[in-house]
């Protein structure tokens, strides 16, 4: 039995002894290493390990009590259990708050643990940041890498519930983040690469890519006149889609806190858009065998040729509706978006872009953080009101060639207007963090240069 499984079993026992009926324990252990290199020097963070516990109990009345703690000692388990039971005693009964129905987790080769981990040495980790810094500094005079940081996590999640779900899952996560600055324009760009596998992070020339992205910004150009196409490069699309996903929460839709309330089954996007959330995609960043409530996740078709389709469903609402939860729950009740897969087009950028002539491309989306609260003058992607208020860093393009920059413009519209403006998709599918995306070609969106 692993250390986390033993810890969970002890906490379940302590909760039962304190008077709990139903018990759920989620434990998570993270071992983290970090290295950095940049203008302020080279260094490494101290390896650290942390353990967190989330305990949910229900008493004989069916009332729920929860506590969460970081780095607990063995002697604190009884105190933690008593605290959860006391919170349940102060709460009202909730017939829907019990552990989710037990579902078979199954043994699947998800590929979320890098088997190479024991052979990775500190010299390999330090080399990732060093080579990217050197790559950024060698692209053009005046362009310098400010900082590159490498973070490695070895994680284990374990769950134990009194209805028989006992499981653990090891995984790895690697992150490389870089920031590169152009002394001529004063512009700095930041980007990152994340993967379950070290080789994915170590092999991507992030420093060179960031430095080359800065070069077109040395040539300011007026935006093309007339109703011209607006491209969204894959990185821009990858920023948009995770912020859109909370709109598909069944709980938010039922409560009227999603622009999809009353619109399920209706067309809200271009018929070219087909989007699936698949938390079981082999080797992807948000792949998992179970969510924080012990539910094996299922694929959810969010958009089917532009029509709103499936929804994320938590265990309480699923129990009330007599359905199966989708397995996208965080321990704190939040939504755990999985791997978003956007179906690509069939033609390449080189085939599609020459027909566009002079046009604009969104190289980076700013202010994109998804918002689930409605209010006036909110910048971002608001999934409650269904509005978009974003700043886009724009490139001027002539066919497939980048000519310069049109600066930063603001896009204000509704989410259906943005999603409905997509007239074509390119075949340049790539994985960016937890999203598989391609280039969007849109028409009819209005930009303003404030």
Does 236 map to a domain?
yes
Q: Are residues 144 and 259 in the same domain?
A: no
Cβ neighbours around 92 below 10 Å, total: 8
Do 378 and 368 form a contact (C-beta atoms < 8 A)? no
* Model pLDDT, residue 370: 42
User: What are the tens digits of pLDDT across the range 57-97?
Assistant: 999 999 999 999 988 776 689 999 999 999 999 999 999 98
User: What are the tens digits of pLDDT across the range 322-370?
Assistant: 999 999 999 988 999 999 999 999 999 999 999 999 999 999 998 775 4
Do 340 and 245 form a contact (C-beta atoms < 8 A)? yes
Q: Are residues 405 and 322 in the same domain?
A: yes
Cβ neighbours around 326 below 10 Å, total: 25
For residue 409, which of 389, 387, 388, 393 has the smallest C-alpha distance?
Answer: 393
What's the average model confidence in pLDDT over 28-46?
92
Does 96 map to a domain?
no
Max Cα separation, the chain?
73
* Model pLDDT, residue 108: 57
Q: Are residues 61 and 122 in the same domain?
A: no
**Beta 370-371 vs 358-366: how paired, if at all?**
unpaired
Domain closes at, from 218, 238, 254: 218
DSSP 268-323: -S-TT--EEE-TT-TT-TT--SS-TTSPPP--EEEEETTEE---B--HHHHHHHT-
Residue 142 and residue 340: Cα distance in Å, rounded? 38
For residue 159, which of 328, 29, 49 has the smallest C-alpha distance?
Answer: 29
What's the average model confidence in pLDDT over 182-199?
96
Q: Are residues 315 and 186 in the same domain?
A: no
User: What are the tens digits of pLDDT across the range 97-142?
Assistant: 889 988 887 665 577 999 999 999 999 999 999 999 999 999 999 9
What's the average model confidence in pLDDT over 16-28?
95
Does 394 map to a domain?
yes
Domain closes at, from 37, 72, 89: 89
Structure tokens at 160: 């134990």
Report residue 316: phi and psi, to 5°: -65, -50
**Position of tokens 């790559």?**
135
Q: Are residues 208 and 249 in the same domain?
A: no
Q: Are residues 269 and 307 in the same domain?
A: yes
Domain closes at, from 71, 89, 107: 89
Orientation angle between helical segments 3-17 and 77-89, nearest 10 degrees: 50
**Position of tokens 């069916």?**
62
Does 112 map to a domain?
no
Residue 194 and residue 432: Cα distance in Å, rounded? 8
* Model pLDDT, residue 378: 44
Residue 172 and residue 155: Cα distance in Å, rounded? 6
Q: Are residues 175 and 74 in the same domain?
A: no
Phi-psi region of 73 (alpha: psi -120 to 50; beta: other; left: phi over 0): beta
Query: In whole angstroms, how far apart are CA 264 and each of 160, 307, 330, 336?
Result: 35, 8, 24, 21
Q: Is 121 exposed, middle or buried (0-12, 13-18, 19+ CB in 10 A)?
A: exposed
Q: Are residues 285 and 428 in the same domain?
A: yes
Do 414 and 211 form a contact (C-beta atoms < 8 A)? no
Q: Are residues 311 and 194 in the same domain?
A: no
* Model pLDDT, residue 225: 87
Does 163 map to a domain?
no
User: What are the tens digits of pLDDT across the range 383-437?
Assistant: 999 999 999 999 999 999 999 999 999 999 999 999 999 999 999 999 999 999 9
Residue 187 and residue 165: Cα distance in Å, rounded? 51
Q: Are residues 301 and 184 in the same domain?
A: no
**Arithmetic mean of pLDDT over the chain:** 93
Query: In whole angstroms, how far apart are CA 98 and each of 20, 84, 254, 316?
Result: 12, 14, 21, 8
Does 207 map to a domain?
yes
Query: Which CATH number characterizes residue 62's domain?
Result: 3.30.2290.10
Query: Which CATH number characterizes residue 150's domain?
Result: 3.30.160
Q: Are residues 262 and 153 in the same domain?
A: no
Residue 309 and residue 266: Cα distance in Å, rounded? 8
Does 16 map to a domain?
yes
How many domains, in total, are found in the chain? 3
Range of the domain at 408: 230-448
Does 99 map to a domain?
no
* Model pLDDT, residue 74: 63
Q: Are residues 253 and 282 in the same domain?
A: yes
Please, which residues bridge with residue 249 across strands?
312
User: What are the tens digits of pLDDT across the range 358-378?
Assistant: 999 999 998 775 433 333 444
């Amino acid at each position: 039995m692993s250390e986390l499984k033993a810890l969970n079993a002890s906490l379940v026992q302590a909760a039962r002894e304190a008077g709990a009926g139903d018990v759920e324990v989620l434990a998570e252990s993270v071992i983290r290493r970090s290295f950095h290199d940049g203008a302020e020097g080279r260094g490494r963070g101290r390896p650290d390990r942390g353990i967190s516990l989330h305990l949910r109990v229900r008493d004989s009345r069916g009332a729920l009590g929860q506590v969460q703690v970081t780095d607990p000692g063995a002697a604190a388990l009884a105190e933690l259990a008593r605290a959860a039971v006391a919170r349940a005693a102060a709460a009202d009964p909730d017939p829907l708050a019990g552990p989710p129905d037990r579902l078979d987790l199954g043994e699947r080769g998800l590929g979320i643990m890098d088997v190479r981990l024991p052979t990775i040495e500190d010299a390999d980790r330090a080399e990732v940041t060093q080579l990217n810094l050197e790559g950024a500094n060698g692209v053009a005079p005046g362009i310098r890498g400010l900082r590159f940081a490498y973070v490695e996590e070895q994680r284990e999640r374990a769950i134990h519930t009194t209805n028989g779900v006992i499981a653990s899952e090891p995984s790895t996560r690697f992150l490389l983040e870089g920031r590169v600055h152009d002394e001529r324009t004063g512009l700095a760009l930041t980007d990152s690469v994340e993967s379950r596998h070290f080789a994915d992070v170590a092999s991507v020339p992030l420093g060179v890519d960031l430095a080359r992205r800065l070069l077109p910004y040395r040539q300011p150009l007026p935006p093309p006149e007339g109703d011209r196409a607006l491209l969204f490069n894959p990185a821009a699309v990858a920023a948009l889609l995770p912020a859109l996903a909370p709109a598909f929460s069944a709980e938010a839709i039922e409560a009227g806190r999603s622009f999809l309330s009353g619109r399920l089954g209706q067309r809200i996007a271009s018929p070219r858009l087909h989007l699936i959330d698949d938390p079981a995609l082999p080797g992807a960043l948000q792949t998992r065998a179970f969510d924080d409530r012990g539910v094996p996740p299922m694929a959810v078709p969010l958009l089917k040729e532009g029509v709103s389709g499936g929804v994320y469903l938590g265990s309480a609402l699923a129990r009330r509706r007599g359905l199966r939860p989708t397995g996208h729950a965080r321990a704190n009740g939040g939504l755990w978006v999985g791997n978003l897969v956007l179906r690509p087009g069939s033609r390449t950028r080189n085939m599609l872009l020459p027909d566009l002539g002079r046009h604009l491309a969104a190289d980076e989306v700013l202010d994109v953080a998804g918002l689930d609260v409605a209010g006036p003058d909110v910048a971002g992607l608001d999934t409650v009101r269904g509005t978009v208020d974003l700043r886009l860093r724009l490139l001027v393009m002539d066919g497939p060639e980048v000519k310069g920059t049109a600066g930063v413009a603001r896009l204000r519209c509704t989410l259906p207007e943005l999603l409905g403006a997509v007239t074509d998709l390119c075949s340049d599918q790539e994985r960016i963090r937890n999203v598989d995306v391609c280039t969007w070609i849109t028409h009819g969106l209005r930009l303003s240069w404030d």
